[in-house]
Amino acid sequence: MQIDGQVETPADNADEPKRTKAEQKRLILVEIDTGEYRLQYPLAFAQNVSALELYAAIEAGMKRVEDLLGPFESKLELLVPGQIVFDDPSFPSHLGIAGLTQEADDGTIQVVVSLWAAKGSTWPHEFFHARLRELELAPPRWLEEGAAHFVESANGFNEELFELLLSSGPLSIEDISKIRGISDKEMRVRASGWAVVYYLNKIRGKKLQHVMLLQEVDLPSTAEAFEAIKEERNKMMESNASNKIAVF
């Protein structure tokens, strides 16, 4: 994996060619250390996402995850590269990588969010993965990703994944278990996970942390989950429509 535009120390190395002024400028890092996390990002990126926007997105994302799963115990390292590229040729080229969470050798949890995603919902998504690592919870990958997409919005609804399920339908848990690694069905896998999490938390009232502890055999089918979501959605539309009539 390569993290393009990632933090590099502008050390003077005699073997390296001299950097131009513009190149040197790219290496100036903004560092924000709140005690809870340390964020580093190249100052040059501030033309795309200002430090204040970035800070606001991080704080909001962290709060959402802490409200759901309790406060972080360790200090996180946050990085904002230009983009994240996997050098694995089997990785579907149409998928952009918004963020990733990894554990460094010293046990520090690193959260990396691409600049193009740094204003939005990728922060709560990645913080969710990070907090699960701290809690030592390791649900099946499809379910964890589904839950991470669930926490991207305050109400858990994910329009994009819902639309994908409307057009392609969910994959069964059995079909998901046959897929190895990241395939061209990745977004459908995630959407199916999202449907199960949304259904259990929002419709059946189960706590998110509890859902993350369930075994696959104890989960409802993805079809059952999606049907219930569609039904809930239809009811909501109907009541919205009748509300409008009442107003006029």
Binding footprint of Zn ion on the chain (CB under 5 A): 145, 148
Minimum CB separation of residue 236 from Zn ion in Å reads 27
CA dist., res. 188 & res. 198, Å (int): 15
> In the beta sheet, which residues pair with residue 112?
79, 100
CA dist., res. 98 & res. 132, Å (int): 19
Minimum CB separation of residue 129 from Zn ion in Å reads 6
Closer residue to Zn ion in complex, CB, 111/145: 145
Contact criterion met (CB below 8 Å) for 173 and 214:
no
Minimum CB separation of residue 128 from Zn ion in Å reads 8
Give the residue among 224, 246, 108, 210 at the shortest CA–CA distance from 173.
224
Closer residue to Zn ion in complex, CB, 145/201: 145
Closer residue to Zn ion in complex, CB, 58/145: 145
H helix intervals, 110-178? 122-134, 141-150, 159-168, 173-178
Closer residue to Zn ion in complex, CB, 38/133: 133
CA dist., res. 39 & res. 31, Å (int): 6
Minimum CB separation of residue 125 from Zn ion in Å reads 6
Minimum CB separation of residue 140 from Zn ion in Å reads 13
Closer residue to Zn ion in complex, CB, 42/146: 146
Contact criterion met (CB below 8 Å) for 118 and 54:
yes
